[in-house]
Amino acid sequence: MNLLVTGGAGFIGSNFVRFWVERHPDDGVVAYDVLTYAGNRANLDDVAEVVPLVEADVCDTDAAVSAIEKHEIDTVVHFAAESHNSLAVLDPARFFRTNVLGTQAMLEAARRSEIPRFHHISTCEVYGDLPLDTDDAFTEEDPYRPRTPYNASKAGADHAVRAYVETYGLAATITNCSNNYGPYQFPEKVIPLFTANALDDRPLPLYASTQNRREWLHVVDHCRAIEAVLERGRIGETYHVGSGVEASIAEIADAVLKVLGKPDSLKTIVPDRPGHDRRYVLDTTKIRNELGWVPTIEFESGLADTVRWYADNRSWWEPLRDRAPVVETSWAPTGG
């Protein structure tokens, strides 16, 4: 198998590249990334000798076709996306361009090149949010109700994938995943942000709705799920990937501070961003029953290992900190 991994220099993409090289050493892997502020060539340093990096835009169909043909690609794994909800509030156009038009461009490149397999990575957030006082979880049959520009752009991308399956017979699958955590995540996201700030005794910005919850999945378990779908998933199907483990922003902050031995006084309340979702959880019955996938990394130990990774790799995240385009403490009150 020869894989083209879009967004291969990003957080989940680079972890997947590393995962696949280790698990499938006889396969070819090519990373495809335009290297935006969150794309980092250094994420691939340890596999650079065996994984070429094509620096190109997912919106450039011709560049994608060229990469596919040059490297004899037979499988496209499409991670590339703008993914930071806060930035989407400030600059929605870049999210619709990359996430919707970029996905369509990659689908078209796969169609033109007659690629036998295309897999698209999506998010739980396309379904909207759930009440805090229920045990409800989203299934693959639930309607899409996106509430933010990021959510809507990912929903649009999912619809484009399904349209290419139905209209052109493209052999594609989709996974919707919960919040990922692990090494190499850009320090604008909550766990690396809290860890980096705590290490330097800076405030940890907690949105005012401190009990809003997310479902947390280690990135390696996510990679294992994609592997299962590529190997055994049914064409045209969507599979949910989640852990069933929920934690609020306050619980995340407490866990980070505990691992690092830092005081609770570093927690600081900031205004909610517009459209801040309350809760999302995925029902993973389908992938468990059909493909036999289950998460293997327990959240408490996985989170502690992740925090320690950032503590041990300051040289990786410190140069990236000032590249973050959003200051989370700067939101005006909702409606202001």
Domains defined for the chain, CATH in brackets: 2-181+219-241 (3.40.50.720), 190-213+245-279+298-330 (3.90.25.10)
d(CA 145, CA 163): 18
| pLDDT beneath 70: ranges in the chain | 210, 273-277, 328-336
∠ CA(212), CA(222), CA(92), 5° rounding? 55
**In contact, 221 and 181? CB cutoff 8 Å:** no
Q: Which amino acid is at 139?
A: T
**In contact, 324 and 187? CB cutoff 8 Å:** yes
pLDDT score recorded for residue 132: 77
* Chain-centre distance for alpha carbon 157: 14
Q: At 206, is the secondary structure helix, strand, or coil?
A: strand
pLDDT score recorded for residue 335: 41
d(CA 276, CA 312): 32
pLDDT score recorded for residue 334: 42
Structure tokens at 2: 């020869």
Phi, psi of 219 (to 5 degrees): -60, -30
* Chain-centre distance for alpha carbon 148: 16
pLDDT score recorded for residue 85: 83
- Residue ranges of alpha helices (H) inside 38-91 are 61-70, 85-90
pLDDT score recorded for residue 270: 87
Q: What single DSSP character describes residue 178?
A: -
**In contact, 270 and 329? CB cutoff 8 Å:** yes
* Chain-centre distance for alpha carbon 141: 21
d(CA 130, CA 277): 8
β partners of residue 123: 177
Structure tokens at 33: 């990334």
d(CA 226, CA 116): 16
pLDDT score recorded for residue 336: 37
∠ CA(159), CA(160), CA(166), 5° rounding? 90
pLDDT score recorded for residue 124: 94
Sequence-ordered list of residues with C-beta below 8 angstroms from that of 46, at least 6 positions apart, any chain? 18
* Cα separation of the two ends of the chain: 53
pLDDT score recorded for residue 77: 98
pLDDT score recorded for residue 209: 73
d(CA 229, CA 77): 11
Q: What is the pTM of this model?
A: 0.94
Residue 43's nearest CA partner among 3, 218, 35, 27 is 35
Phi, psi of 145 (to 5 degrees): -140, 60
**C-alpha count within 13 angstroms, C-beta hemisphere, residue 272:** 13
d(CA 280, CA 86): 17
The helix or strand, by DSSP H or E, that contains position 62, with its residue range, turns out to be helix 61-70
* Length of the chain, in residues: 336
**In contact, 181 and 217? CB cutoff 8 Å:** yes
**In contact, 270 and 208? CB cutoff 8 Å:** yes
**In contact, 59 and 97? CB cutoff 8 Å:** yes
pLDDT score recorded for residue 328: 63
Residue 192's nearest CA partner among 311, 296, 325 is 311
pLDDT score recorded for residue 135: 84
